[in-house]
Amino acid sequence: AQKVTQAQTEISVVEKEDVTLDCVYETRDTTYYLFWYKQPPSGELVFLIRRNSFDEQNEISGRYSWNFQKSTSSFNFTITASQVVDSAVYFCALSGGAAGNKLTFGGGTRVLVKP
């Protein structure tokens, strides 16, 4: 069975601070995919990034960066210089390499950025 754990339920920061969201996963698949989605108050899940299990290269996209460490089964997400518009719930998700590729989500981390 697959499992995703986001231990932080809520993080509150002041604008321009950095914030790191933790994600730990469990899977028996040798090939799998990891995702981060953002859910703003409007409710729609917005895709942010996808990583393949065989590609541990970290990635930076603007103010967002991701740290994938297979050895610790972690896929952490950092927002640099946070902005009020970053306030949302962030979900880490996992899908296996088999046909179907349904997503298993963590419980989400609510990020509140105060001006």
Partner 1 sequence: DTGVSQDPRHKITKRGQNVTFRCDPISEHNRLYWYRQTLGQGPEFLTYFQNEAQLEKSRLLSDRFSAERPKGSFSTLEIQRTEQGDSAMYLCASRGRQGGPDTQYFGPGTRLTVL
**Interface contacts to partner 1, rule CB under 8 A:** 4, 33, 35, 37, 42-47, 50, 91, 93, 95, 99-108
Closer to partner 1 by Cβ: residue 35 or 66: 35
What is the rounded CA–CA span in Å between residue 47 and residue 67?
17
Tell me whether strands 19-21 and 74-79 are parallel, antiparallel or unpaired: antiparallel
CB 65, min distance to partner 1, A = 19
CB 112, min distance to partner 1, A = 15
CB 7, min distance to partner 1, A = 13
CB atoms within 10 A of CB 98: 10
Closer to partner 1 by Cβ: residue 77 or 106: 106
Closer to partner 1 by Cβ: residue 77 or 91: 91
Q: Give the 3-state secondary structure of residue 86.
A: helix
CA angle 47, 39, 34 (to 5 degrees): 40
